[in-house]
Structure 1
Amino acid sequence: MSSLKRIAKNTGVTFLGNNAFKILSLILVIFIARYLGSESFGRFSFALSFTGLFAIIIDLGTRLVLVRETTKSKKDASKFLSNTLILKLFSAIITLSIIFLLINILKYDSITKLSVIIASFGLMFNSMTNSVISVYQAYEKMEYSALVKIGKVILRFLFTMSILLIGLGLTYVLIVYSLIQLFGFLISLFIYNKKISKLVFNFDKDLIFRFLKSGFPFLLSSAFVEAYFRIDITLMSKMAPKTVIGLYNNVSPEVVIGWYSAAYSILDSLISIPNALSVAMLPVLVLYFKNNRNKLKDIYNHSIKYLS
């Protein structure tokens, strides 16, 4: 299969998988907002957004490094993945400690604190899953990534709706979210072992330091991206107005966040196409950067043309 055909296939698979994921997630968010109400939905949105700010600390810029290095040397995929997961285990422990410390220093109420702590475990498992998906990306097997995403969102939809219908609240919804992230990690490992290679943990200190060094520029760029997309809700939790002129008095920040998040979730679904193309292109560009710069320029020019 030619490079352009592989890119087209993986773009299509990623686009369909992401859209199915986003559509079901959007429907679920609408139901969560309706059943929990503005205040609890605001806490739900804040917990996910606040913990999301720390995703870069767990990842440490290794996601793109893992794609790049695995694309160059697929025989070492298991070694790369196992050491990345070991690194992320340690970074996750540090990150969860920072989250716990900050959420107490910032003096949020007890329900918000508990929500953030539960969501932070989901953040850890999701980051681990993303490492496995990075290897899928390097192998240009994005159908496995789509399968994991769709499986997660279907289970999340079914279990969350069940919880809402029997009258359980915010805490149980977040527990379901975190457990589904754990399931996603386990199923992604299962697919990796069945379809790509047996994962054997082999600690390599030098490799971990190499990944940390290579990942530092990605860490810096990701810090700005995450801050741009996620800092808004965290700021609103402390700065949202108590009064909405002509509408409500004594409005809590959680209610304002709930309104904002419900609208933002709809707009967030519009970035699927460029995201799918960039995911599909990365492993191909890595190969051609090393072997055929002219082909790399050609594919890059085609991608810009399609996006514009």
Structure 2
Amino acid sequence: MSLLKQVAHNTSSQIIGKIISTFLGLFAIAMMTRYLGVEKFGWYITTISFLSFIGILIDFGMTPVTAQMLGENKFDKTKLFNNLLTFRFFSALFFLSIAPLFAIFFPYPHEVKVAIAFTAISFFAIALNQVFIGFLQEKLKMQIQATGEIISRLILVIGLFLAIYNQAQFLTLMWIIILGSISYTFSLYLYIRKQTKINFEFNKNIWLSIITKMWPITIGVIFNVIYLRGDVLLLSYFKAQTEVSIYGAAYRVIDIVTQTAMMIMGVMLPLLANSWAQNNKEEFKSRYQLAFDAMMIISMPMFIGLFLLSHELIILVAGEKFFVSGYALQILSIATLGVFLGGIFGHLAVAINLQKKVMWIYITNAFITLTGYMIFIPKYGMYGAAWMTVFSEFYTGIMLVWFIKKKLMTKLNLNLFFKILLSSLVMGIFIIFTKKLPVLLVIVLSALVYFLSLIATKALSRDNIKDLLTLKK
């Protein structure tokens, strides 16, 4: 099977699954914004953002570490997986158990503090998913992850519908979110236990290897979390819950949508790590190029669509009350370009064992961005937060590109990128002239225009399309 077909076979079901789960996720947000209103939706955003801050803090890079270590074949894979899972289980259990205690010191409403206490269960399930997803990435079985995500989103949407129909309270809705997360984890567990034995294991050598591989990522993540979630946390501290809600609605749309593009690097990481470990330079170069091209072909039209349709998308998702969120979404859509660059070259740093060498990028970014948050959020609120987010994502992305390219000395071929850019601009012009049409129709038609433009510019060849359509092992 060709490399394109190999990656496409693993990602086609993900893309379909991600489209479905993204729709369900946005539908869930639409129900919550309309039912909870501006202030109580702010409670939800504050709860999720607080726990996301802790969750990212204790992330330890478990998904890329799992995928990379399983791809290197240095240990027995069953033993390695069980040790990774054991490490993840007990570290997440410890930190998420004490996390709610810190919420006491924040000026949050009582309901938010209670929600933080028990919604930590949801983030414990998410933490376990990191190892499960790393396992599936290495096996090129990410269709299982896509199925699990759809199941969890269906449970979430159905649960929210029943809760709203019965006029449930805010805390009841948070329990439904927990149920969705647990169902996701359980579905992954049911599949993986058929593929390998799952037990708690402690092997000193493996744990030392995990920690050695993980600690540079952990340091990076600790500083990373400051600019990834610091904006919402500081906004919730300095401003009212209504402003947190307005900003949070835009942030949730960005979070859900960008996951679609980022999954490409999750698939490519074990392939890149394997080529690098075997010192197969030609194969590595080919996979590096493919990773860049695949990310660009998804991310460029995504950015242009978000930027041009920001208000229309917010009204569709959250309703007229959240119209102002469109301005925040437009600013944050610019940040997605930095997110995608950082995603490509951040994963590449892990694949070629340069985690330690790039730590300074995350550390300096954290200090600069935190300073910016402290200056601009009290004065400009969500707009200060949004523009500092743009800065931080571009800072990380650009610095990673510069550093990794200098170390690799491998030049990317940008011919395809310029064709993708041209196709995206054609799509953007089409959107500008059709914005008065219903937004869903504009999205469908603009996607068709983009696809046809890719064919016209020969960014997609007939062979590429054949590979993508047949997808046989």
Normalising by the residue count of structure 1, what TM-score does the alignment of the two structures yield?
0.88
User: What is the alpha-carbon distance in structure 1 between the residues aligned to residue 246 and residue 221 of structure 2?
Assistant: 27
- Residue number in structure 1 paired with 2:253: 266
Q: Give per-residue Cα distances to partners, 1:98-124, cap 9 Å, x unaligned.
A: 422211122433211011112211111
Question: Within the alignment, does 1:60 sit opposite 2:64 as a pair?
Answer: no
Question: Within the alignment, does 1:199 sit opposite 2:221 as a pair?
Answer: no
Q: Judging changes above 3 Å, is the alpha-carbon distance between structure 1 residues 269 and 84 closer, same or farther for their aligned structure 2 residues?
A: same
16-25 or 112-121, which moves further after superposition?
A: 16-25
User: What is the alpha-carbon distance in structure 1 between the residues aligned to residue 290 and residue 165 of structure 2?
Assistant: 49
- Residue number in structure 1 paired with 2:132: 132
Q: What amino acid maps onto 1:117 in structure 2?
A: A
Question: Within the alignment, does 1:142 sit opposite 2:142 as a pair?
Answer: yes
5+ residue gaps in structure 2?
297-416, 418-473
How far apart are 1:32 and its partner, in Å?
A: 0.5
User: What is the alpha-carbon distance in structure 1 between the residues aligned to residue 115 and residue 231 of structure 2?
Assistant: 18
User: What is the alpha-carbon distance in structure 2 between the residues aligned to residue 186 and residue 75 of structure 1?
Assistant: 26
- Residue number in structure 1 paired with 2:183: 183
How far apart are 1:208 and its partner, in Å?
A: 1.9
Q: Is the 8 A contact 1:64 1:218 kept in 2?
A: no
Q: Is the 8 A contact 2:86 2:201 kept in 1?
A: no
174-183 or 268-277, which moves further after superposition?
A: 268-277
Q: Could you say what secondary structure the match of 1:296 adopts?
A: helix
- Residue number in structure 2 paired with 1:167: 167
User: What is the alpha-carbon distance in structure 2 between the residues aligned to residue 226 and residue 216 of structure 1?
Assistant: 15
Q: What amino acid maps onto 2:96 in structure 1?
A: L
Q: Judging changes above 3 Å, is the alpha-carbon distance between structure 1 residues 19 and 219 closer, same or farther for their aligned structure 2 residues?
A: farther
Q: What amino acid maps onto 2:281 in structure 1?
A: R
Q: Judging changes above 3 Å, is the alpha-carbon distance between structure 1 residues 74 and 137 closer, same or farther for their aligned structure 2 residues?
A: farther
User: What is the alpha-carbon distance in structure 2 between the residues aligned to residue 31 and residue 190 of structure 1?
Assistant: 30
Q: Is the 8 A contact 1:12 1:276 kept in 2?
A: no
Q: Give per-residue Cα distances to partners, 1:157-194, cap 9 Å, x unaligned.
A: 11122111111121111111112222222221110122
Q: Could you say what secondary structure the match of 1:8 adopts?
A: helix
How far apart are 1:219 and its partner, in Å?
A: 1.6
- Residue number in structure 1 paired with 2:266: 279
Q: Judging changes above 3 Å, is the alpha-carbon distance between structure 1 residues 205 and 177 closer, same or farther for their aligned structure 2 residues?
A: farther
Higher RCO structure (Cα 8 Å, ≥6 apart): 1
User: What is the alpha-carbon distance in structure 1 between the residues aligned to residue 161 and residue 250 of structure 2?
Assistant: 20
Q: Judging changes above 3 Å, is the alpha-carbon distance between structure 1 residues 66 and 161 closer, same or farther for their aligned structure 2 residues?
A: same
Q: Is the 8 A contact 1:140 1:283 kept in 2?
A: no
How far apart are 1:221 and its partner, in Å?
A: 2.7
Alignment of 1:54-133 (within 5 A): 54-73=54-73, 76-133=76-133
Normalising by the residue count of structure 2, what TM-score does the alignment of the two structures yield?
0.59
5+ residue gaps in structure 1?
241-252
Q: Judging changes above 3 Å, is the alpha-carbon distance between structure 1 residues 98 and 50 closer, same or farther for their aligned structure 2 residues?
A: same
User: What is the alpha-carbon distance in structure 2 between the residues aligned to residue 80 and residue 166 of structure 1?
Assistant: 47
- Residue number in structure 1 paired with 2:283: 295
The count of corresponding residues between Structure 1 and Structure 2 is 295
Q: Is the 8 A contact 1:15 1:272 kept in 2?
A: no
Q: What amino acid maps onto 1:294 in structure 2?
A: E
Q: Judging changes above 3 Å, is the alpha-carbon distance between structure 1 residues 87 and 175 closer, same or farther for their aligned structure 2 residues?
A: same
How far apart are 1:273 and its partner, in Å?
A: 4.8
Q: Judging changes above 3 Å, is the alpha-carbon distance between structure 1 residues 219 and 75 closer, same or farther for their aligned structure 2 residues?
A: closer
Q: Judging changes above 3 Å, is the alpha-carbon distance between structure 1 residues 169 and 237 closer, same or farther for their aligned structure 2 residues?
A: same
Question: Within the alignment, does 1:33 sit opposite 2:33 as a pair?
Answer: yes
Q: What amino acid maps onto 1:301 in structure 2?
A: Q
Q: Is the 8 A contact 1:53 1:231 kept in 2?
A: yes
User: What is the alpha-carbon distance in structure 1 between the residues aligned to residue 212 and residue 142 of structure 2?
Assistant: 27
264-273 or 86-95, which moves further after superposition?
A: 264-273
Q: Give per-residue Cα distances to partners, 1:54-105, cap 9 Å, x unaligned.
A: 1134332332111111122398333222222222232223312442221112
How far apart are 1:211 and its partner, in Å?
A: 0.7
How far apart are 1:269 and its partner, in Å?
A: 4.0
Q: Is the 8 A contact 1:125 1:182 kept in 2?
A: yes
User: What is the alpha-carbon distance in structure 1 between the residues aligned to residue 41 and residue 250 of structure 2?
Assistant: 12
Q: Is the 8 A contact 2:10 2:267 kept in 1?
A: yes
Q: Is the 8 A contact 2:11 2:143 kept in 1?
A: no
Q: Give per-residue Cα distances to partners, 1:134-179, cap 9 Å, x unaligned.
A: 1000111111111111111111111122111111121111111112
User: How large is the RMSD of aligned CA atoms in angstroms?
Assistant: 2.0
Q: Judging changes above 3 Å, is the alpha-carbon distance between structure 1 residues 186 and 266 closer, same or farther for their aligned structure 2 residues?
A: closer
User: What is the alpha-carbon distance in structure 1 between the residues aligned to residue 87 and residue 127 of structure 2?
Assistant: 11
